Structure 1
């Protein structure tokens, strides 16, 4: 079946726009710290509250099978509006700790109707070539995640509220684009009833289980790597007296991961998603292990190494999602993607909080060693023989 050529570009644009909300709080962390009076622990609070909201949202969406029972485009639109509203609630002169946590929790909750739903829409349109389509889509998510750092680094009006306004506005536009121009896909198979044991049934499928556990190992590393990249840059600058813009470099490092998602999608089209996911996880795991050595390199080599690490840590994400979607029955694709996202982001909270604790106890150059746990366990399961 011939695809409508406008579908994927609109999905890419909308995914970028809406996921810019994810790190909006982290990109203006210094101003939020001033508003709340919180100290260094705010890094973990701000991102973990989004992750916890996302987990809660995906649990609700998966249990009620929202993505498989209702129009994904309408869900995407409604959640884009609500996530933007939660993001805008940070637009205030005085901010309590609980206001901050609830605002970021709400943003994360409604992002559960954006990120996995966007992948579900892609799966409804691309029965073949899903790995390439998701490469573009997750690449857009990665670019969206990094976008607030770009806004912060550009110091528009030197006002952090500008970041909140712009990210919220483009998220609303993204939701409108999807609901107006992306109807239900030709390969969508609607579920009519809630299946309480759908999750258990999915994890009994060997290919689904293997891809899911590999994804969990990837998620242990990815968001903690992103969240603590500014700390790594600050630590390196402090030790070496290097001078650079931490927000702009954080944007560049995360955004390069979007490029690797797209490139990985093209290669996966030829050699398969399993190989791309496996080797990307292997490379990023090696970078975790050698991370203390990166801090001893000259500035240019340090930044190149950190950028390659960011590309490897991200490249496997769309391919794991492709493996998961292809392993699930058609009527449970949305539920499968949402459920695995839920568990993956729950794992990311643990690694983020672990690095938050370690950053206060040991030399920051050593904390990234602990991210190797995820890739190592993921690779163990990925090497088990399951036909693809």
Structure 2
């Protein structure tokens, strides 16, 4: 039951992530935004997430405080900042609110992983697969909400996402932490806590693979509505929203299938399969997009989206497995911080360039999964560096 509660709370809490993307047409009319401004709104969340995860990962708070309380507080802050977005008077104030939303997500996503590891210590790959699958649904949720007719009131899309986040915070507050959850003392978390994990060879390798994966994933999800518009400029807002939801949400069953498969093949092999598949999609998209019809293109984007995220929980499982229990929270949070910094850079550089590069933008995503495969290759092999115990 705790695993189900945490997974559903992650789904509801991460509904904040892409709310502007789901109502971008309305925001463009309201604030006279260009298509490139979507990158600023999404990048602001990634930047806020980076700041929050750095603070939690380096301070050791992720391991020294009760994860359930931290998660609930983050949900409250995120729900409020998201609910205020319709009252922003332009792009600058909207970007500020999205930074705050990103800060709150730093207490939802990686802290949710810490909670899941605590409640399912012997099924980490499977538990994290369920959690990341729910993250995928949460990321896609605003598109589903936007596709529902609310009497023309697009603001309800944002407010319902905030309501879901509040429900998530209350559920985890009531659940609490795992009874056997170890908590780091200030003395073990004082030396820029999460950095200690990078002294562990297999953590470095798993984290490096995750960093390559993050160059691709969120930029792809940000591009999906724009790629659909490029393929069919006459697409209606409702069809765009529902199709975008489906193309992102398809990653959820992919994560769950990957988690089930990891019980038999291991996390490393599942992650390698996902990276290889998404690399092939990056390579093929510019060749296929101009020559296939709209329906096959949507199918291809769905396959690409699934392969791009199926490996995500397995990187976290590999990283968690390489860390001592008292470092898991800080290590995973810091890993997320660096990964989302890479993601923010990728979004900021590539999304505004879509109008120039067109379908060939997919080739600029390709280095991510290729570098990820390099990181996975050496997991489990002797390190050239002397082993140093984490601090």
TM-score past 0.5 threshold: yes
Deviates more, 1:30-39 or 1:133-142: 30-39
Count of aligned residue pairs for this structure pair? 378
Structure 1 partner of 2:195: 200
Structure 2 partner of 1:184: 177
Q: Deviations over 1:294-327 (max 9, x none)?
A: 3121223212111111100010011111111111
Please, which of 86, 102, 121 is the counterpart of residue 108 of structure 1? Answer: 102
Q: How far did residue 12 of structure 1 move?
A: 1.3
Q: Deviations over 1:61-101 (max 9, x none)?
A: 11221120011000010110000000011132x62222101
**Does the 8 A contact of 2:147 with 2:242 survive in 1?**
yes
SS of equivalent residue, structure 1 residue 199: helix
Matches within 5 A, 1:1-388: 6-92=1-87, 95-180=89-174, 182-193=175-186, 194-238=189-233, 245-295=239-289, 296-362=291-357, 364-387=358-381
Q: Deviations over 1:2-27 (max 9, x none)?
A: xxxx1011111111111001011111
2-side partners of 1:123 and 1:186: how far apart? 12
1-side partners of 2:235 and 2:104: how far apart? 39
Q: How far did residue 357 of structure 1 move?
A: 3.3
2-side partners of 1:334 and 1:384: how far apart? 24
Q: How far did residue 156 of structure 1 move?
A: 2.1
1-side partners of 2:321 and 2:128: how far apart? 12
SS of equivalent residue, structure 1 residue 156: coil
2-side partners of 1:246 and 1:369: how far apart? 24
Q: How far did residue 263 of structure 1 move?
A: 0.6
Q: How far did residue 346 of structure 1 move?
A: 0.2
2-side partners of 1:41 and 1:358: how far apart? 8
Q: How far did residue 39 of structure 1 move?
A: 1.1
2-side partners of 1:85 and 1:30: how far apart? 23
Q: How far did residue 387 of structure 1 move?
A: 4.9
Deviates more, 1:241-250 or 1:213-222: 241-250
Structure 2 partner of 1:3: none
**Does the 8 A contact of 1:235 with 1:365 survive in 2?**
no
1-side partners of 2:288 and 2:26: how far apart? 30
1-side partners of 2:41 and 2:292: how far apart? 31
Query: Where does the alignment leave 5 or more consecutive residues of structure 2 unmatched?
Result: 383-391
2-side partners of 1:249 and 1:228: how far apart? 13
* TM-score, scaled relative to structure 1: 0.94
Query: Where does the alignment leave 5 or more consecutive residues of structure 1 unmatched?
Result: 1-5
Deviates more, 1:205-214 or 1:157-166: 157-166
**Does the 8 A contact of 1:294 with 1:305 survive in 2?**
no
Q: How far did residue 385 of structure 1 move?
A: 4.9
**Does the 8 A contact of 1:127 with 1:187 survive in 2?**
no
* TM-score, scaled relative to structure 2: 0.93
Q: Deviations over 1:151-187 (max 9, x none)?
A: 112232222101111000110011000101x222144
Q: Deviations over 1:188-244 (max 9, x none)?
A: 210111322433321121110010000001100000000000011111114xx7778
**Does the 8 A contact of 2:31 with 2:91 survive in 1?**
yes
2-side partners of 1:370 and 1:148: how far apart? 27
2-side partners of 1:21 and 1:129: how far apart? 28
Across the aligned residues of Structure 1 and Structure 2, the Cα RMSD in angstroms comes to 1.6
Q: Deviations over 1:35-72 (max 9, x none)?
A: 32221221111100000000000011112211200110
**Does the 8 A contact of 2:59 with 2:193 survive in 1?**
no
